[in-house]
């Protein structure tokens, strides 16, 4: 049934769709082989290798067959029905996407690739082609830096200076248009580069490989580098030209591209209802009595809460994957107290690292479940006075061991949601000296450890690690609840990292350990919009920032008016994220319990009603949230929506504002189909300028707090006291609250 329903795909109907004219082309060019296959709707998959053919065991993050397309449930595998040595040009067509093989000068032979869209009027639009100026280096190059069969690959594609690039994972760069960026494919805290992007030309691209490397988006060339691999694998998909569309409908080319991408990389299940409410966390709740009292305090303040989080160092030893029984003597009782007082669930933190004094170290070491290094003693990092090694998430048996331990020590005791922190892979994901041995050494000028996993090396498969770590928890959830991957999520995890298709797991990605200053707040908005364009609808932040900026005296201090103002603005914005969450390491004049407070009533009597009001508004939007998450699940339609997604054609100014990465587009966005959010990102303001796009035939904008209306297509200034985040809507407020918005 699901497959039949997906045939009614956006942009084509069954009657007029052009079926692929080939099952695939095998192109032999000297020592190099290319396998080109139609893939899903309007897409092609290209695999390339020198000398040795792939084994079929290579790591891939895309479905074969995709969730949508004319495959009838049959995998493509390595199939093809045409062969060529490049002696003549060839053309393959899949839907509206044409792939041509051309020669050096454009007509001689056929060993360079180009991708064009076939438009409704019969004309063609070149989307991209392999970058091959006259007498230049080959757009596909291979080098062998070591003695083995793995090689380094560089693939280049043509670009134009006016092209805009959206996605690429998350970086702290204030940009949603990545044109001009050079992005290293190495994960670390707050930085999750992922080679998935959309172009304003109407195509999307997936560099389907786990290798570390680099992305470069130059004026005339887009370049991808894999540091170590045995196979190059990428996919290009296209969307119909929608330039004649005034966006009076709810579907843009970007919605189509997100649908195509999610058909390749995975659709998100719907989240459990509780997760759409308010999530309470701080660094950190340290024992059972503190968490139980916290729940009673929420009940006494009559403030709703849906999830309470127990953060790191709640264990006796690194890698025990259990709460310390000296501090948490009766976990099931604690879970019951919290649930009875508030209705909330619990979440507990785990790290992938294992110290040699852990209960699990000997077993993990004996079974080969710990990652090692290619030289030296095998330790991958240090923490809190101990050298540690990470468990090997790329090993299915190690993933099973992890989940079995979590299931025994947490799940059966009533804690069924997990925070998979430090999940970046390689080391603990931070370029800092973590062992506490020196006050002078803060940053170590070395590359990540040259880690060895069951699946390969850090250079060759390092980007797999966070994805596999998320997979470990998701597999555990599904086994524990006898549900399948497309069923609604029974529980959730929270991860500091991810990769291609992470949205298929019941896992939220958050922006990492950010600093508590205004500039960082502004950077998170653009980061979230890039996450959305990458396909990660499940995204959130530490409201208020995670840690103090040591150069700013008030940063992170809950007793200072400066930080209270920042926190209020950050918290208000968190109301309009896919998941509403607060967290952080706070400073204060008087410590409550063990660490400084971060609860709604911790920021002064004058601010508590405002914070509570936003929490209550979040619950009032429950039906709206449910609707947009359902649409994300079925179609891949983005929840956080950069303005270009909906207004590129109804308002010609939007494209220029996006190209310039102006604040009007990097710090404003649609939250679902009806709400426009523009968070305040500067101190000491009572008014805020917002660019309201022209909506075409969809009507005027209404300011949420005053019901004042605006035509759109202009910059407006609205009153923005601390209790009012700039929030606009179109249509009916009643429809929004009821969820009737599509």
Claim to verify: residue 77 and residue 225 sit in the same structural domain: yes
Q: What is the pLDDT of residue 435?
A: 59
Q: Are the C-beta atoms of 584 and 283 separated by less than 8 Å?
A: yes
Chosen domain end from 608, 635, 662:
635
- The answer to whether position 491 is within a domain reads yes
Claim to verify: residue 202 and residue 175 sit in the same structural domain: yes
Claim to verify: residue 173 and residue 225 sit in the same structural domain: yes
pLDDT tens for each residue of 482-536: 999 999 999 999 999 999 999 999 999 999 999 999 999 999 999 999 999 999 9
Measured distance CA(425)–CA(458) in Å, rounded: 8
In the chain the first and final C-alpha atoms are separated, in Å, by 23
Measured distance CA(395)–CA(371) in Å, rounded: 9
φ, ψ (nearest 5 deg) of residue 295 = -60, -45
- The answer to whether position 8 is within a domain reads no
- The answer to whether position 10 is within a domain reads no
Claim to verify: residue 588 and residue 692 sit in the same structural domain: no
Q: Are the C-beta atoms of 462 and 426 separated by less than 8 Å?
A: yes
Quick check: 62 pLDDT over 50? yes
Cβ atoms < 10 Å from Cβ of 88: 12
Q: What is the pLDDT of residue 104?
A: 62
Claim to verify: residue 520 and residue 599 sit in the same structural domain: yes
- The answer to whether position 2 is within a domain reads no
- The answer to whether position 421 is within a domain reads yes
Arithmetic mean of pLDDT, 53-58: 90
C-alpha angle with apex 309: 304 to 314, nearest 5 degrees? 150
pLDDT tens for each residue of 449-486: 889 999 999 999 999 999 999 999 999 999 999 999 99
pLDDT-derived band of residue 6, with 50, 70 and 90 as boundaries?
very low
Residue ranges of the alpha helices (H) in 555-599?
561-574
Q: Are the C-beta atoms of 704 and 727 separated by less than 8 Å?
A: yes
pLDDT-derived band of residue 107, with 50, 70 and 90 as boundaries?
low
- The answer to whether position 9 is within a domain reads no
- The answer to whether position 19 is within a domain reads no
Chosen domain end from 208, 240, 265:
265
pLDDT tens for each residue of 629-683: 999 999 999 999 999 999 998 999 999 999 898 998 999 999 999 999 999 999 9
Cβ atoms < 10 Å from Cβ of 122: 6
pLDDT tens for each residue of 694-722: 998 888 999 999 999 999 999 999 999 99
Q: Which residue has the tokens 């803060």?
A: 442
Claim to verify: residue 332 and residue 235 sit in the same structural domain: no
CATH number at 683 reads: 2.60.40.1180
Q: What is the pLDDT of residue 377?
A: 82
Claim to verify: residue 503 and residue 484 sit in the same structural domain: yes
Measured distance CA(344)–CA(326) in Å, rounded: 24
pLDDT-derived band of residue 9, with 50, 70 and 90 as boundaries?
very low
- Of 255, 421, 542, 651, which one is the catalytic site residue? 421
Nearest to 428 by CA among 375, 389, 398: 389
Claim to verify: residue 710 and residue 612 sit in the same structural domain: no
- The answer to whether position 97 is within a domain reads yes
CATH number at 623 reads: 3.20.20.80
pTM of the full structure:
0.95
Measured distance CA(466)–CA(474) in Å, rounded: 12
Claim to verify: residue 461 and residue 606 sit in the same structural domain: yes
Q: What is the pLDDT of residue 381?
A: 82
CATH number at 97 reads: 2.60.40.1760
Q: Residue 580's domain spans which residues?
A: 279-635
Quick check: 152 pLDDT over 60? yes
421 is a catalytic site residue: yes
Claim to verify: residue 162 and residue 57 sit in the same structural domain: yes
Claim to verify: residue 523 and residue 652 sit in the same structural domain: no
φ, ψ (nearest 5 deg) of residue 250 = -95, 10
Claim to verify: residue 472 and residue 524 sit in the same structural domain: yes
What's the domain count of the chain? Answer: 3
Chosen domain end from 207, 230, 265:
265
- Of 42, 392, 513, 646, which one is the catalytic site residue? 513
pLDDT tens for each residue of 403-456: 999 999 999 999 999 999 999 998 887 766 555 556 666 666 777 788 999 999
For 54, residues 6+ apart whose C-beta sits below 8 A from its C-beta are 47, 78, 230, 231
């Amino acid at each position: 049934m699901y497959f039949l329903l997906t045939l009614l795909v956006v942009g084509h109907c069954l009657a007029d769709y052009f079926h692929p004219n080939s099952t695939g082309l095998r192109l032999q060019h000297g020592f190099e082989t290319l396998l080109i296959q139609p893939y899903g709707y309007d897409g092609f998959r290209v695999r390339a290798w020198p000398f040795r053919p792939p084994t079929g065991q290579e790591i891939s993050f895309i479905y074969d067959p995709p969730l949508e397309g004319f495959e009838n449930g049959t995998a493509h595998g390595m199939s093809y029905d045409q062969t060529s040595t490049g002696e003549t040009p060839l053309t393959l067509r899949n839907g509206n996407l044409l792939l041509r093989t051309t020669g050096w000068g454009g007509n001689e032979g056929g060993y360079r690739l180009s991708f064009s869209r076939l438009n409704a009027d019969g004309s063609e639009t070149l989307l991209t082609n392999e970058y091959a100026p006259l007498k230049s280096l080959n757009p596909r190059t291979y080098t062998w830096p070591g003695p083995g069969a793995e090689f380094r690959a560089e693939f280049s594609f043509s670009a134009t200076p006016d092209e805009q690039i959206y996605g690429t994972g998350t970086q702290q760069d204030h940009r949603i248009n990545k044109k001009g960026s050079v992005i290293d494919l190495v994960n670390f805290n707050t930085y999750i580069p992922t080679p998935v992007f959309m172009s304003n030309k109407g195509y999307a691209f997936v560099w389907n490989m786990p290798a570390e490397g680099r992305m470069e988006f130059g004026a005339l060339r887009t370049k991808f580098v894999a540091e170590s691999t045995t196979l190059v694998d990428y996919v290009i998909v296209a969307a119909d030209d929608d330039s004649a569309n005034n966006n009076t409908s709810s579907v843009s080319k970007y919605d189509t591209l997100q649908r195509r991408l999610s058909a390749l990389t995975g659709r998100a299940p719907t989240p459990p209802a509780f997760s759409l409410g308010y999530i309470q966390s701080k660094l950190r709740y340290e024992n059972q009595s503190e968490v139980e009292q916290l729940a009673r305090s929420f009940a006494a303040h009559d403030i709703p809460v849906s999830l309470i989080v127990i953060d790191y160092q709640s264990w006796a030893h690194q890698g025990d994957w259990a709460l310390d029984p000296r501090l948490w003597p009766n976990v099931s009782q604690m879970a019951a107290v919290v649930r009875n007082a508030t209705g909330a669930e619990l979440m507990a933190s785990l790290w992938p690292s294992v110290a040699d004094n852990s209960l699990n170290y000997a077993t993990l070491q004996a079974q080969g479940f710990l990652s090692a290094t290619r030289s030296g003693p095998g330790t991958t990092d240090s923490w809190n006075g101990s050298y540690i090694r990470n468990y090997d998430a790329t090993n299915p048996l190690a993933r099973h061991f992890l989940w079995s331990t979590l299931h025994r020590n947490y799940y059966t005791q009533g804690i069924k949601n997990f925070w998979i922190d430090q999940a970046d892979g390689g080391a603990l994901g931070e370029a800092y000296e973590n062992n506490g041995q020196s006050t002078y050494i803060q940053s170590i000028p070395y590359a990540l450890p040259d880690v060895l996993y069951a699946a390969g090396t850090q250079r060759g498969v390092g980007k797999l690690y966070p994805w596999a770590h998320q997979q470990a928890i998701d597999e555990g959830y599904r086994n524990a609840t006898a549900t399948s991957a497309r069923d609604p999520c029974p529980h959730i995890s929270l991860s500091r990292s991810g990769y291609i298709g992470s949205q298929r797991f019941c896992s939220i990605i958050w922006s990492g350990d950010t600093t508590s200053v205004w500039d960082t707040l502004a950077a998170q908005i653009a980061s979230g919009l890039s996450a959305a364009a990458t396909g990660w609808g499940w995204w959130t932040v530490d409201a208020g920032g995670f840690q103090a900026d040591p150069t700013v005296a008030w940063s992170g201090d809950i007793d200072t008016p400066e930080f209270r103002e920042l926190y209020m603005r950050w918290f208000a914005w968190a109301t309009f994220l896919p998941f509403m969450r607060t967290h952080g390491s706070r400073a204060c004049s008087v410590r409550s319990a063990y660490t400084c407070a971060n609860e709604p009533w911790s920021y002064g009597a004058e601010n508590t009603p405002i914070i509570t009001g936003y929490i209550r508004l979040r619950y009032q939007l429950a039906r709206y949230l449910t609707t947009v998450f359902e649409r994300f699940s079925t179609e891949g339609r983005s929840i956080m929506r950069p303005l270009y997604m909906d207004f590129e054609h109804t308002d010609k100014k939007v494209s220029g504002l996006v190209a310039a990465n102006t604040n009007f587009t990097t710090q404003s966005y649609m939250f679902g189909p009806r709400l426009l959010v523009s968070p305040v990102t500067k101190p000491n303001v009572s008014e805020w300028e917002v660019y309201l796009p022209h909506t075409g035939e969809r009507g005027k904008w209404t300011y949420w707090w005053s019901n004042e209306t605006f035509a759109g297509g202009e910059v407006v200034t609205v009153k923005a006291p601390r209790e009012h985040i700039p929030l606009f809507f179109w249509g009916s407020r009643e429809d929004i609250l009821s969820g009737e918005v599509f």
